[in-house]
Amino acid sequence: MAAAVGNLRMRVSFSLKKAAFIAFAGAAVVFTTAFFVAPDPGALPPPAFVQSGSAGGAPAPPLYVYGNPAVSLENILVRVVYFMPKGSGGGVDDFAESAVFLKEEIFPQIAAFHSREFQGVSRVEFSLFSQPVFGVSDRNAYEKDFLDVSVSDPLRMIEQEVEGRILREGGDLYDATFARNVAGTYHILLIAYGAPIPSATFAGQEWRVPGMAGDAGTTTALVFRSMTDPQMRSLWPNAAAVIAHELLHTMGVPEQYDPRSSGLMAQRANRRDIMGSGVAEPIAATFIGDDVKRAMGLY
């Protein structure tokens, strides 16, 4: 899938035959030249937003949104909401099990990876909403947007529901503490979607989708049940890497290869960091490419 009418669309991580992961930008069947193709690890495209300095001419922060020195990433808060679509069969026990797994295993791994790769100049914290959110709609209503190539913002429906119910006053689950914006902090919304990974046929292959991020410029990402289920850790030892990959998209990092290209797997193999084939590795074994770090102000 690619960008429609020159606009960047959703970013999705895929698995093929349990091992191969690809991630791409786009939400339309019609492919355009707006793909970010990386035939080698150094071939990162120019940043989508290039500025020579931060707002007001002040020095750029030590880490910032990809290509945008005006937006600091020194402090990052990831709000995490466990969301169960109506009729998914999930319950409070599923949430409790995933909450322990996320807090004790996944979040610490991502925080350690983030600190290591960004040399301690940026701090990421996670805040998990205290209860599961039961959706007002069923899976079909949400998931038709996830993979509908004609939809400009595939996470819009679920994102609006979560924000309206939890982050805004008057919502039935509004929590002022959880919703509070912290000064000097970059806020991300991560939706832990409590339903199985969907699949789709693309280019004659069956693909499974463990996670995705919203439109370019948004700060919302979503991962499926297998990424947060401790019973699946042996099948998905790279769950933390998948989540970290999606979080990097919410920090502005673009995709690195063309999913419609006959050379897709070669492109992916050449991109060995977490934005390429490295997403298939346990998070402790992968890394963020220096070209990405440069575009985020680290060097």
Residue 91 lies in a domain: yes
Count up the domains in the chain and report the number.
Answer: 1
Residue 2 lies in a domain: no
Residue 57 lies in a domain: no
Strand (E) or helix (H) holding 175: none
Q: What is the pLDDT of residue 31?
A: 21
Residue 3 lies in a domain: no
Helices (H), 102-238: 107-117, 139-146, 156-162, 176-179
Q: State how far the Cα of 35 lies from the Cα of 41, in Å rounded to an integer.
A: 16
Beta-carbon contacts of 74 under 8 Å, excluding residues fewer than 6 positions away, are 61, 62, 63, 121, 122, 123, 184
Residue 95 lies in a domain: yes
Residue 6 lies in a domain: no
Q: What is the pLDDT of residue 129?
A: 98
Cβ contact 228:101 at 8 Å: yes
Beta-carbon contacts of 33 under 8 Å, excluding residues fewer than 6 positions away, are none
pLDDT tens string 137-149: 999 999 888 876 5
DSSP letters, 207-261, are: EEEEEEE-STT--EEEEEGGGT-GGGTTT-TTHHHHHHHHHHHHTTPPP-S-TTS
Residue 54 lies in a domain: no
Blockwise average pLDDT, block size 10, the chain, 299 residues: 32 39 32 26 39 52 95 98 89 94 98 98 98 95 78 86 97 97 97 87 68 83 96 96 96 77 68 92 97 95
Q: State how far the Cα of 194 lies from the Cα of 210, in Å rounded to an integer.
A: 12
Residue 281 lies in a domain: yes
Give φ, ψ of 94 to 5 degrees. Answer: -60, -45
Q: State how far the Cα of 203 lies from the Cα of 72, in Å rounded to an integer.
A: 39
Range of the domain at 27: 11-46+62-295
Q: What is the pLDDT of residue 236?
A: 96
pLDDT tens string 219-237: 999 999 999 999 999 999 9
Q: State how far the Cα of 80 lies from the Cα of 188, in Å rounded to an integer.
A: 8
